[in-house]
Structure 1
Amino acid sequence: MANTQMARAKRGEISEEMRVVAEKERLNSEKIRLKLAKGQIVIPANHGHKSLSPEGIGTGLRTKINVNLGISGDCANTEAELDKVRKALAMKAEAVMDLSNYGKTAIFRQKLIELSPALIGTVPMYDAIGYLDKKLEDIRPEEFLAVVEKHARDGVDFVTIHAGLNRQTVEHFKRASRVTQIVSRGGSLLYAWMEMNRAENPFYEYFDRLLDICAEYDVTLSLGDACRPGSLADATDASQLEELIVLGELTERAWQRDVQVMIEGPGHVPINEITANVQLEKKLCHGAPFYVLGPLVTDVAPGYDHITSAIGGALAGAAGADFLCYVTPAEHLRLPSLEDMKEGIIAAKIAAHAADVAKGIPGAAEWDRKMSQARQALAWEQMFELAIDREKAERYRKESMPTHSDSCTMCGEMCSMRLMNRMEDKAQTRASTK
Structure 2
Amino acid sequence: MILHEIETKSRDFIEEIQLQRLKRVVERVTRDVPFYREKFENANISPEMIQSLADLEALPFTEKKDLRDNYPFGLFAVSPSQLVRIHASSGTSGKPTVVGYTKGDIDIWSDLVARCIALAGGEPGKVLHNAYGYGLFTGGLGIHYGGEKLGMVTIPVSGGNTQRQIMLIQDFKPEVICGTPSYILNIAETMEEMGIDPRTTSLKYGVFGAEPWSEELRNTLEEKLAIKACDIYGLSEVIGPGVANECHEAQAGLHVAEDHFYVEVIDPKTKQPVPDGEEGELVFTSLTKEAFPVIRYRTGDIGSLTREKCSCGRTTARMSRVKGRIDDMLIINGVNVFPSQIEHCLLPVPEIAPHYQIHILRKRTLKVLELHVEMNDDFFRSINEDPISDTVYLLEKRIEGLLKSQCLVTMEVRVHRPKTIPRSEGKAVRIIDKTKEPIKS
TM-score (norm 1): 0.27
More helix per residue: 1
TM-score (norm 2): 0.27
More strand per residue: 2
